[in-house]
Chains A and B, each alone.
Chain A
Amino acid sequence: GNSVTQMEGPVTLSEEAFLTINCTYTATGYPSLFWYVQYPGEGLQLLLKATKADDKGSNKGFEATYRKETTSFHLEKGSVQVSDSAVYFCALSRGATNKLIFGTGTLLAVQP
């Protein structure tokens, strides 16, 4: 079946450090891939997405590239800020139903 695996947290970084959160997926065919972010006390928000192989999604300094050969969609940011502290979820969607399958989420804590 379809599934998403992402690295366990928490990830603790100092401000301006480089961030990578790994995400790999298992799916038949060609899923769409997403990163969602959940700030404390708020609902999940779409951070970025990629709908086909080699697409790069980007938003707010975050990037992720759809790698079909490695079935990965790793999230990166060159310089994190305290305001980036949140839980990040990798997800995939297949077909016309728009059903999302989520990874377990990774808590990022950025210290000043």
Chain B
Amino acid sequence: GAVVSQHPSWVICKSGTSVKIECRSLDFQATTMFWYRQFPKQSLMLMATSNEGSKATYEQGVEKDKFLINHASLTLSTLTVTSAHPEDSSFYICSAGPLLGDQFEQYFGPGTRLTVT
């Protein structure tokens, strides 16, 4: 149980185009989802907290207009990288949780590798 999927697993796009990444909780409902970015040999950096039915909360230094987050249902959050540039190339990971009654655990998706050429 508590499986989170991401789609696509990898994507290559041209500079200036937009890319949408989906994060789904497959067997549970998630009022909160988190989006992280991971650079090679570096830690996961929290980008934003996505709450179902309300605006996402972005971490300091993350551009809201560049990284659009939508959490329209209890099982789906999307991250759209707008007007992508090579410096946006990275590994994007989402998580969902906690489950009702479990204060702490988050469940992570397998990640999406974005390459901007």
Residue of B nearest to A97 (CB): B49
| Chain B interface helix/strand/loop/mixed | loop
In the assembly, what is the distance between CA of A102 and CA of B108, in Å? 13
A105 touches B43 (CB 8 A): yes
Q: A43 interface residue, CB < 8 Å from B?
A: yes
Q: A60 interface residue, CB < 8 Å from B?
A: no
A43 touches B104 (CB 8 A): no
Question: Binary interface profile of A, 33-75, with partner B (CB < 8 Å = 1, else 0)?
Answer: 0101000011111100101000000000000000000000000
Q: A93 interface residue, CB < 8 Å from B?
A: yes
Q: A32 interface residue, CB < 8 Å from B?
A: yes
A45 touches B108 (CB 8 A): yes
The interface of chain B, by Cβ under 8 A from chain A, is: 4, 32, 34, 41-44, 46, 49, 93, 95, 97-98, 103-111
Q: A22 interface residue, CB < 8 Å from B?
A: no
Given contacts A89-B44, A104-B42, A105-B43, 18 further A-B contacts (CB under 8 A): A4-B43, A36-B108, A41-B110, A42-B110, A43-B93, A43-B107, A43-B108, A43-B111, A44-B95, A44-B108, A45-B108, A93-B104, A98-B34, A98-B106, A100-B44, A100-B106, A102-B44, A104-B43
